[in-house]
Every structure is written in structure tokens, then in C-alpha cells.
Amino acid sequence: MPKKPIILDFDSTLCAVESLDALANMVLGDDPDSEAKVAEIERLTNLGMSGELPLSESLARRLATLTFNRSHIARLIEALRDQLTPGLVEDRQWILNNTEHLHVVSGGFVDWIVPVLTPLGFRAEHIHANVLCWDADVCVGFDQDHPLSRNGGKPEIVQQLGLGPEKGAIAVGDGISDLELRRTGHVDRFVAYTAHAFRDAVVQESDMEASDWTSLREILDQVWMA
């Protein structure tokens, strides 16, 4: 029997931080209004996560607060490589062995997730995330038609990819948008990954909890053996 597909989140799951917040901190580092802007970005993040603001609007307003270019993205990629979940980098052989069953579905951006994850053995075509728009070296926004830029985007992508519950798919993540895959019946099981963010509401509705990469590996190996 083929191994069940695994759908992994990126921010606060494969990576220890929220990558857009990390970009904001970097870009605003030299800005005299940085404190106010960081506070505004955090406010917009929370409004988006709690559902008080549509995700697409939260994302658009956060990006509009930031002016950045490709060199910022290059620095972000370097920084994120040092902030991956502990154990992941050492597990490159396991990732390579299982790469056809591993999919990343993230509300972050392919512009940095692909270069951060592909050297570890993840397949670029298995990484699904938002896409930045560029005018030469300057970021001018994001693809607003991409499903992952709006609420309900993760279930939409999983459905498009045909990775759903009929294949016994398992979602892994820290947030409500990951849990949503289970609530809407798009996956068979949901593992709450709590190494970096512990959200009560998410853990309570999860089928299993993994508090670090080693325990997640054990869960996945068991599911695949069953």
C-alpha cells in the first residue's frame, strides 16, 4: 500500500518563526518608525488569524507596510536556514527517502520557502505557498488570485492536488488554518506540532500532538507502517 501523503505547514512548524514577521523585523530594522510599524503588522497578523479581518486583506495591508527588495529576501533565506525546527537539517536522508510523500502547504511565500527547503530534500513542485510580485528587484505586492492568500486556501489546495482523505492524508501544523483541513474533512488526521507555538484550541481538536521533530518522525513512521 502506498504511504499516506503528509501535508506540512512551514511557519512555526518546519521553521521556528513566522517568516513574514522575521522579514518585517529585518526590513524595518533601520526605519525610524519601526516600533509603530512592527506593532501594526503584529496587529494585522492577529486580526487575520482570529478571523476578524479576511486573510487576503491582512496580508495585503502587512505587505503594504513594508518596502523591500530581493537582497532582503536573500538575507531572510540565510536567517531562516538557521531557524529551522531542531532535528530537521540532520534528517536530510529521511526527507530524501520519503520526499514523494511530503508536501508543504503554507500561507508564507515560495520566494523564500523553496530555497530554504529544497536543499534539505523537499521537492520544489511539492511546495505550495503564496507568490510575491516583483518590478525588477523591488517587491510590488503578491498574487492576489492565489488560493493560499485567502481564507480556506489550504483545503482548496489539498483538494486541487488530490491529496485528500481518500488517500489517508495527514496534516501537520500549529495553526487554525492547518486544523481547518481536518475540520472540513480534507485530511484523515491532524497532528498539532507544538515545538514553536502551542495553541490550546488547535491542540484540543487534534488527533495527535508532536512536541518536537523526533516525536513527529515517530508518529509518521508508525502511520506509514500501519
User: Which stretches of the chain bind Mg ion, using CB under 5 A?
Assistant: 9, 11-12, 174-175
Q: What are phi and psi of 5, to 5 degrees?
A: -70, 140
In degrees to the nearest 10, what's the CA dihedral of 17, 21, 22, 23?
Answer: 140
Residue ranges with strand state E in 36-120? 102-109
Cβ(168)–Cβ(7) under 8 Å?
no
Q: Which is nearer to Mg ion, 8 or 73 (CB)?
A: 8
Q: Integer distance in angstroms from the first to the last C-alpha of the chain?
A: 10
CB nearer to Mg ion: give 195 or 220: 195
Closer residue to Mg ion (CB): 174 or 188: 174
Q: For the CB of residue 174, give the shortest distance to Mg ion in the complex, in Å.
A: 4
- Whose Cβ is closer to Mg ion: residue 111's or residue 180's? 180
Nearer to Mg ion among residue 164 and residue 175 (C-beta): 175
Alpha-carbon gap, residue 223 to 211, rounded angstroms: 17
Q: How far is CA 81 from CA 15, 62, 212, 219, in A?
A: 8, 23, 17, 25
Rounded to whole angstroms, the Cα distance separating 135 from 90 reads 37
CB of 12 vs Mg ion, minimal distance in Å = 4
Rounded to a whole number of angstroms, the minimum distance from the CB of residue 9 to Mg ion is: 4
Q: How far is the CB of 40 from Mg ion (least distance, A)?
A: 21
Q: Please state the closest distance from residue 98 (CB atom) to Mg ion, in A.
A: 21
Written as one letter, the residue type at 76 is L
